[in-house]
A and B are shown apart, each in its own frame.
Chain A
Amino acid sequence: MTAARTIHFRLNGVPVTADVKPHDNLVELLQAHFGLYGARESCGQGLCGCCTVIVEGLAVSGCLYLAPLVDGAEVTTIESLDADGRLDPVQEAFIETGAFQCGYCTPGFILMIRQLLEEHPDPDEAQIKHYLSGNLCRCASYPQVIEAVRLAAGKRKA
């Protein structure tokens, strides 16, 4: 298949290099080259949110985002959140409210909620639903996710 090219980018704050093929997506890049499995491909259409990765401060669907496009970019994954051994307030809130079941979609929700709370520290229900409309949970833990967002908002202010 097509030849690989070398890209350079910052991954969770560290400069890295990888050889990628033009068709590789961001999820494959993170899994195959860096052993990061928190972003997972599920629907493959950018609709479920399981593959959420932060590129240049913005949540993107890793299954649709071509790996060569992160050349020179700042990439952040779920694995960076507890780099110091401490959980992010959103992660703590998820555990306390039981806002997940199988856990497959959970990293995507958490990254998106962090973006929500950055932009709206005290979101109302409409804002929560709007920001999270691109994250689906087949176990349907939606009511508990709402609780988790509210709890996390409080924790971040504390």
Chain B
Amino acid sequence: MPVATQHTSKVGAQVGRSVPRLEGREKVTGRAEYTHTMRLPGMLYAKLFRSTVAHGRITSIDCSAASKLPGVLRVVTIDDVRKVIPDPYYGPAFHDQPILADAKVRFVGEPVAAVLSADPHVAEAAVELISATYEELPAVYDEVQALSSKTYVHEQLKPAGTFADLKHLKGAKDTNVALAYRLRRGDADKAFAAAAHTFEHEFRTQKVLHLSFEPHATIADYRDTGVTLYTASQGPSFVRSEIARLLGWQENKVRVKVPFLGSGYGAKLYIKLEALALALSMIARRPVKVALTFEEMFYQITKHPCTFRIKSGVDRDGKIVARKCQVFWNGGAYADIGPRVTQKSGLTASGPYDIDNVSIDSYALYTNVTPAGALRGFGVPQLTWACESHTDMIARALNMDPVAFRKKNILREGRPHATGTIVTDAAVEKVLDRLVERMRWSQPLDRGAGPLRRGRGLAISMKAVITPTTSVATVNVSADGSVTLHCGTIDMGQGSDTAMAQMVGEVLNVPAESVRVVQRDTDVTPYDMGTLGSRSLFHMGHAVRLAAEEARDKLSALAREVGEPEGTNVPVPTLFVKRYGMRAGNIIGTGVFTPQYTPPAPETGLSDNVTAFWMVSGTGAEVEVDTETGHVKVARLVSVVDVGKPVNPQLVDTQISGAALMQLGFTMFEEMHLDGGQVVNASLSDYKIPGFHDVPDAMEILTVDTVQSNGPFGAKGVGEVATFGVSPAVANAIDDAVGVRLQELPLKPESVLRALRAKAGTPLKDA
């Protein structure tokens, strides 16, 4: 599987260079530290007893046998938690999640009780001795049913107050809607009435999850004078605020330390195990570690399943004149960041097209399943799946080439996006052109013979970065001239430490390899909104650049102060010695970055500046379909991305191929199977993820020659962008190969075969 890559840009001495990862040696020698394998002296292990029903009132919890097991220190329920944290509810958008189940359970797998022991095996054995009884309540699992269901997951809604657009939901009852986002542009109804053709389709995506190989883990060490959390988190600043809020403390008494993450993909955002670990440490008055097993990740956080009804009106020339989108997000039992997924991806639901009349309704819904959050794309992969399948279906129905149809409707620079924001630095057309060229679209494809049929498909997509958010960084120049960077961006594998060091090196004219990036510790690393949504390289990159520039300016001032002429080449250590009479002192530069932004108007969702930057990608797939078995082989996968100027081309390539392959798993086979709310395949043996044999024979990664004009060194984020188009590109290729259209993920052999047999008039019986 050769990886063909092509880059066109190189800038500066540090930025634009494929610097090997700064932490490479630690990782290849097995010495990199992760929370899941950390231990503190005197530490206890917590193991969790979980709900076996999807929705019910707890009528009893019997912990007596577990408490008596030798080696068990304590069995904890919500009654014990309430004694140390009187209002034990947490969450980023809603304060809806109890530290342990409180009177009710809302999904199978919800933690009900915790056992503490110095021996994790003892704690595990004790969990088996706990029993609970429930008065079962009707449950709601499906996102569309949740909208009208009389079964309510929460008695009343408790918005956190941090998001202005959720405040009106405070105390709302008899609803499962955690956020209803709307966008209205032009007059969609009128345009539909006048349209020559109307197309309406429904698409669904399944429940999948992140499955970081380092499962979630937190150690809390509570003292009356302060608390330290060691946690596998993508957002230590948020953890600190939320823990301080639960304790009623000032933030400076809460210290959050994050070593390397055994990946995240959105799973470790906001607050996960931290509140529980805190409560347990307060109760035990010892350090307590909560570390999930692989199986338990299926009960922590997942991607949003989604139902998307999309309708388009097209005129006689093939121009889309109206689009209506209804999106239902299955948020699970607790909101987590679902309302943000609903809103921030909702605004791009109509796709990278220039459409005058757009209506979007996007709903975050509570259901009785494992909560859903962000997963590498904040909803955009689900939206693109629907939007770009729909696009191909229209082109086919109109007998137009899918590329020609897209070219006719594509959103070009300087034109308004559906939100009203004028599009800049979004190379949609360039990406499409490059993809078409690389796919040799104008050449005929060998379509195969006999039972094996070949086809090709493509998809394009764009996403707005979550805006506005803030990053802060400091750069510290020591008296020997060495440079240390403090920034809160978490390196969870994307290589951010290396990229940030390159930007510091570029400004201060030192090798990136010599820059020390401090491990995340809220006692010393300043505020950052979180490592999420491909925002870090842009936002933190700017903060880091500004901090380094301030340090550079202060070094120039120091030179002037000690009588050196402008532009002196006297070494930095000499400047310090001249100033302080010995090797002493520091220069500290600080950088703060928050982009410009106009909040969308509440009624219309329109804004003249809705995002700090656009992410744009295109995906092309060539498939081979076995018409006898329904098996689909993805033979070729081409990703074309607008990354601006790559800071580190090698890291960019790895992000693109990694994102595309992860989404290929979500496209072809990954699926959580639920039966009555119970996950029935919660293990790696039953839930397949991509391995070597799933990698397409040809993986091609291309970037287009662009500059993000408001980005640091012309760059922008790249963590998610290659996921967007994979699913529809493959589905479009299957249609091209065998003439069947799948509207539900994953694209498993059974679905393909059923569609083929239905088309042939010999449908398979239901299983």
Contact = CB atoms under 8 A, between A and B. Distances in A.
Q: Tell me whether chain B's interface is mostly helix, strand or loop, or mixed.
A: loop
A50 interface: yes
Given A40-B34, A40-B214, A136-B691, A104 B21 contact: no
A96 B685 CA distance: 33
Nearest to B665: A140
B37 interface: yes
Contact of A146 (B1, B24, B29, B213): B1
Contacts of B265: 138
Interface string A103-147: 111110010000000000000010011001101111111111011
A42 B215 contact: yes
Given A141-B654, A142-B1, A103 B32 contact: yes
A60 B207 CA distance: 32
Interface in A4-18: none
Given A40-B34, A94-B24, A104-B34, A139 B493 contact: yes
Contacts of A48: 213, 684
B449 interface: no
Given A1-B122, A44-B295, A98-B18, 14 more contacts: A23-B121, A37-B31, A40-B262, A45-B685, A47-B685, A81-B29, A98-B651, A98-B653, A107-B29, A129-B693, A137-B213, A140-B695, A141-B657, A147-B3
Contacts of B3: 143-144, 147
A25 B529 CA distance: 40
23 contacts: A31-B37, A37-B33, A38-B30, A38-B31, A42-B262, A45-B294, A94-B24, A98-B18, A98-B495, A98-B654, A100-B24, A102-B213, A102-B493, A103-B23, A107-B28, A136-B684, A140-B661, A141-B657, A142-B1, A143-B1, A143-B695, A144-B3, A146-B1
Interface in B6-37: 18, 20-21, 23-34, 36-37
A37 B30 contact: yes
Interface of A: 1, 21, 23, 31, 36-40, 42-45, 47-48, 50, 77-79, 81-82, 87, 91, 94-96, 98, 100-107, 110, 125, 128-129, 132-133, 135-144, 146-147
Contacts of A96: 20
A102 B684 contact: no
Given A38-B30, A91-B28, A129 B692 contact: yes
Contact of B494 (A82, A101, A146): A101
Given A78-B29, A102-B262, A45 B683 contact: yes
Interface string B654-666: 1001100110000
Contacts of B662: 138-140
B21 A98 contact: yes
Given A47-B685, A48-B684, A143-B699, A138 B212 contact: yes
The 10 closest A-B pairs by CB, nearest first: A38-B30, A101-B493, A103-B27, A102-B493, A104-B262, A140-B661, A78-B30, A102-B263, A43-B684, A107-B30
B210 to A, nearest CB: 8
A139 B263 contact: yes
B1 A42 contact: no
Q: Tell me whether chain A's interface is mostly helix, strand or loop, or mixed.
A: loop
A110 B28 contact: yes
A65 to B, nearest CB: 16
B25 A87 contact: yes
Interface centre among B30, B122, B295, B650 (most CB of A within 10 A): B30
Given A102-B214, A102-B262, A132 B692 contact: yes
Contacts of A98: 18, 20-21, 495, 650-651, 653-654
B654 A144 contact: yes
A100 B27 CA distance: 8
Nearest to A138: B213
Contact of A102 (B71, B261, B691): B261
Contacts of B121: 1, 21, 23
Interface string B90-127: 00000000000000000000000000000101100100
Nearest to A23: B121
B263 A101 contact: yes
A96 B25 CA distance: 11
Nearest to A37: B37
Contact of B1 (A21, A31, A107, A125): A125
Nearest to B691: A136
A63 to B, nearest CB: 10
Nearest to B659: A140
B262 to A, nearest CB: 3
B689 interface: yes
A95 B25 CA distance: 7
A136 B30 contact: no
B492 interface: yes
Given A95-B28, A96-B20, A102 B212 contact: yes
B420 interface: no
A79 B261 contact: no
A129 B693 CA distance: 7
A132 B19 CA distance: 27
Given A43-B683, A107-B30, A142-B695, A101 B654 contact: yes
Contacts of B210: 138
Given A23-B121, A79-B30, A125-B1, A141 B37 contact: no
B335 to A, nearest CB: 26
Nearest to B699: A143
Contact of A106 (B28, B684, B685): B28
A96 B492 CA distance: 19
B171 to A, nearest CB: 41
A106 B685 CA distance: 21
B313 to A, nearest CB: 39
B661 A142 contact: yes
B260 interface: yes
A101 B212 CA distance: 12
B260 A103 contact: yes
Given A42-B213, A44-B294, A142 B692 contact: yes
B364 to A, nearest CB: 27
Interface in B677-736: 683-685, 689-693, 695, 699
Contacts of B21: 95, 98
Given A31-B37, A45-B684, A101-B654, A79 B31 contact: yes
Contacts of B71: 1
A75 B31 CA distance: 18
A47 B1 contact: no
